[in-house]
Chain A
Amino acid sequence: MGAKRVTPVLLAFVLAAAACGAEPAAPDPWAPRSLDVEPNPFGAAHPLWAPQPHRDRPRAAALSRDERTLYVALAGHEDQPSHEVAVVDLAARAVRRRIAVGRAPVAVALHPAGRYLAVANLLSNRVSVIDTRSERVVLEHPVPWYTTAIAFAPDGRHAYLANRWKDAVLTWTLAVDGEGRFTITGDDYSTREPWQAMGVPVAANPDVLAVGDDGRVWVGAVAGEAIDVIAPGGGVALGRIPVGSPVGGLLLVDRWLVVSHIGRGTGFPEHDGVDGDDDGAPGDGTGNVMFQDLQNELEVFDTTTLAAIDHLTSDTLCCRDYRDVDPDDPTRGTRIPAPETWAPERAQALPPRATWQVAGALPTRMAAIGPATGGRQRLAVTMSASNEVQRFELDLARGRLDASDGDRLYTTGHAPVDIVATRDGATAYVVGRLGEDVTVVPVAAPPGGGPPDRFVVGDAAGGEFPATDVELGELFNNVTAPLTVDGDQACVHCHRDGGNLDRVVAMPLQSDRLWGSRQVQAYRGAFDTRPWFLEAAMDETNFFPVLNEFNRKENFCCEALDPLIWSAYPSVGACLAEPARAGCEHVLSCPTNPPPECSTRRYGSAHLTRNAALVAGAERLSGRRTTFGDSLVVAGTATPIALDFDGVTRAIGLFLLASPRLPPNPNRVLDLVAAARGAELYARAEVGCASCHPLPVTTVTIEPAFSPAGIPVRVPPVITPSLAPDGRVADTVTQGFRDTFSVGGLGPTEQGPEGIHLGIPQLRGIWDRAPRFFHDGRARSLRQALATPGHPALAPGERGWNERYGQPDTHGGTSQLAPDELDDLITFLLTL
């Protein structure tokens, strides 16, 4: 990706040469080096801080050829990366030993010869190769930092490495001896310098690889929401499938490619609004409303034509939520209060009912289960946000996919992240990232509904996960689905790995939902950059609108919000005064004796209040009805708080304060002269970057401790407003939102003809984001975000967005900068 290219001048090397006074030895730009984690300012001084147990966070697994051993990459917590691969004796269901590798191992791949295991270490510029006979690291080969996935060609002659820093796929050429050992005889990058572009460029943040029998390489990207196809042997891009949704997993079966993702919308409306789905037509293509368009989908592509052949979506597309588009009652949407109202014709945009088959939440990695039989291949799909595995069957002749067991699924440990299966299809091993475990799933038999058969491979010495209030919040953030009325959505559907997506969405708070779309925001580095949300209207004390969207009270009959039911009953006050009055038995005891009409509603719960539903969901998920009390207590007491709406929300807010770090920045460690020049430009008054994005946090905050000005601030009007076709500023939010949300006692979010006053987005971590910039994602590169219209730095076809109503330089004074200077400024931004 061009946005991450860094100009090749190394300040450190120049300084080192000058210091020595003699001709320096050429420094090795590929010398082994691991990235250090970013500092975490949330520390013991904060009243919510509590010590956290060490965790190993297993991330990926590979089976030995004899299927007796499982190798599990232990990536570690992002505050404390691990550096080991666990060697698991599957007969004993125990870790036999651990092998030290690089920092934060996140992917493993067994060479087809069965002897060497390659381990991708996210934060080390080395891939570790383990000889599985000696169980020792026998080779460490240089790679750029942020290798996320590795896969071998079926003939074992090539290896492919996906890289999130370079947004590229790199290739090794291998020679294999008769003992199953390989040597790397060449690669397509190590003659270049680490800061240079290399490999085959792919969509942003590639995360998963698959290599077909024909040698073609398939690369799935999370933030970039696409699949790239690369020629056998690497080096040549063959094509791209614009999935339009973050790719969770890839599975090649025969001529078919099965892809898991979260949906791209269903094609309505097609005639108005921001082209949020990049289909070239106006409108964001969403058949449902608000977050209801987040689904769980499996799609089958023909690897010959790249055409989409089949597509399954959530089995809960209708009608657990009162806002779901209902094909059996198309006019229902007209009776729902604005802004959730939907037109009857929306029902026509829903996918066919026969495709509503995906029962779990957030499908990610997949595995083929045993050999194909009768022209059908069974496969198992991990559901990361609901702790489940679901079976499907693929018709190999037609490429059609169907769920094998209806809505029955296997249960796993927390946050399943990878799956491998035995060749006979009897057993699948599922890695639980948060559960620190492996679940043994008997995939040959239908799901039986029993508890998961699991064993620990990570670190549970500090207690089974979750063991603290921060971990409760992390669990709810990642495995949100059991806490939702649909059972099919999660925070990480969009905020994958704390980052953002190449996607714009309409948010519930917007008053112009057609033209005021927002891009998904990354939430890393949240502690020292409060207030949150573009509107700068939230922090951990009032962070509840999103969970509210997943659990609107209207879905719970006993919340008594449905006038079609409750207007026929006396009020609570009247019933307290006269309990024997007709109907009061339902008014006063709804959860145990709801009005009969409640059971006629096709959605939500007939007898639970929202609180009761959430406490029950939290207990099913975590085994707890209250917090642990190490951080979240009733003020002035040591009493834990209930895991109801408030408690779950506060736990998620606590997690956001405590945990998601900015990813260590590989550009910064290069210490580039161009970045130093860019830093000078950034600080220059006439360029003006530092005025709104002051270093070091590059925003202004409500915490004086982090605010360079030392005082709480109010935020300015949106600098780069989105405009409706009639010229109106579309960046407006509802009055109710403004009145309800306020941070630091600063009062309601301000809004006028100039639009909403937005918080200033931080620029830290910008190197790792999807290629969308500005609040509405209109700028598709940093160059387009910074350049004024017609700036000479722009490439043909690029548009400079640094203007407001045609007046340039309103987003910093860049028109005066030469193209090289703009490059320097971008180089600096990529080091933040």
Chain B
Amino acid sequence: MRAVFVPIATVLASGLVACPGHEASHDATDAEVDLDCGDRLGALVRVPGGAYVPLAEAGDGGELVLGFQGFRYLYVRAALDADPGVSSAAVVVQLDGDAARSQPLHLTFGPGATGVVSAPMQIFFNDDPLPTLVDRGVALELRLGSRCLRAGRTILRYDPTCYEGPDGQPVCGEPDGALDGGV
């Protein structure tokens, strides 16, 4: 029987996705770039319902999402007039009453309504007991380069009836189905 050859190049090519405006300027040092975004940098946070709104306008707070094995996180996007040419970023997080911490991030920009907007970035809250997160205020400072900053504040909103279901998806609205510690 004659073997049939499926070109792997085709398989791979179908998996390749070029990111517009992303080709030229990434290198390992871009976290050190003395980038000044002026007023152009915007930070958008996902709110309950799934929409992204500017941090300053998220009056009802950002949605704390339940993820894999109990990891909880906010979704944030960065918006700019144009691709800043850096991919490494960080967010400085300060829960009310706590010391500041930070999380490194990778950014990938695509076209936005105006200018460019990053793909959603997750800001994790792995280190705090859930009850201490719910409805708590948090200051966020998104940093691209050394001078490109956008600070804001939101409240962590969370539906405490949600738990991680057998397939790893959050299941909400079943108060009796919450996590069992195993006793």
Q: Is B54 an interface residue (CB 8 A)?
A: no
- Complex CA gap A47/B88 in Å reads 10
Name the distance in Å between B34's Cβ and chain A's nearest Cβ.
Answer: 13
- Complex CA gap A637/B143 in Å reads 12
Q: What is the size category of the interface that chain B forms with chain A? A: 35 or more
From A563, A610, A692, residue with most partner B Cβ within 10 Å: A563
Knowing A47-B28, A542-B124, A712-B22, say if A736 contacts B68 (CB, 8 Å).
yes
Residue contact A715 to B168, C-beta cutoff 8 Å:
no
Residue contact B118 to A711, C-beta cutoff 8 Å:
no
Contact of B179 among A561, A590, A717 (CB under 8 A): A561
Residue contact A338 to B166, C-beta cutoff 8 Å:
yes
Contact of A560 among B17, B22, B90, B131 (CB under 8 A): B131
Residue contact B119 to A715, C-beta cutoff 8 Å:
no
Knowing A541-B103, A563-B180, say if A809 contacts B28 (CB, 8 Å).
no
Name the distance in Å between A354's Cβ and chain B's nearest Cβ.
Answer: 25
Q: Is B4 an interface residue (CB 8 A)?
A: yes
Q: Is B49 an interface residue (CB 8 A)?
A: no
Residue contact A554 to B181, C-beta cutoff 8 Å:
yes
Residue contact B88 to A711, C-beta cutoff 8 Å:
no
Knowing A511-B167, A636-B143, A703-B28, say if A710 contacts B124 (CB, 8 Å).
no
Residue contact B4 to A337, C-beta cutoff 8 Å:
no
Residue contact B12 to A692, C-beta cutoff 8 Å:
yes
CB-defined interface of B137-156 with A at 8 Å, one 1/0 digit per residue? 00001010010010000000
Name the distance in Å between B46's Cβ and chain A's nearest Cβ.
Answer: 12
Contacts of B179 in A (CB 8 A): 337, 554, 561-563
Q: Is A22 an interface residue (CB 8 A)?
A: no
Residue contact B91 to A635, C-beta cutoff 8 Å:
yes
Contacts of A337 in B (CB 8 A): 163-164, 166, 179-180
Contact of A735 among B120, B149, B169 (CB under 8 A): B169
- Complex CA gap A678/B55 in Å reads 56
Q: Is A352 an interface residue (CB 8 A)?
A: no
Residue contact A587 to B183, C-beta cutoff 8 Å:
no
Contact of A709 among B16, B31, B130, B180 (CB under 8 A): B16
Contacts of A572 in B (CB 8 A): 131-132, 134
Contact of B120 among A557, A600, A710, A745 (CB under 8 A): A745
Contacts of A496 in B (CB 8 A): none
- Complex CA gap A604/B165 in Å reads 23
Chain B interface residues toward A at CB < 8 A: 3-9, 11-12, 14-19, 22-23, 26-29, 31-32, 65-71, 73, 87-88, 90-92, 99-108, 118-122, 124, 126-132, 134-135, 141, 143, 146, 149, 160, 163-170, 178-183
Top-9 shortest CB links A-B = A734-B168, A562-B181, A736-B168, A745-B119, A740-B67, A745-B108, A815-B3, A635-B90, A338-B166
A–B Cβ pairs within 8 angstroms, 28 of them: A47-B29, A548-B69, A549-B69, A559-B129, A563-B180, A564-B181, A587-B131, A601-B183, A610-B127, A611-B128, A634-B92, A642-B101, A645-B126, A650-B104, A685-B9, A686-B5, A688-B5, A691-B8, A692-B8, A713-B17, A717-B11, A734-B167, A734-B168, A736-B69, A740-B122, A744-B108, A788-B3, A810-B6
What would 7 more interface pairs be, CB under 8 Å, given A601-B182, A692-B12, A809-B5? A563-B180, A563-B181, A636-B102, A688-B9, A716-B11, A744-B108, A747-B120
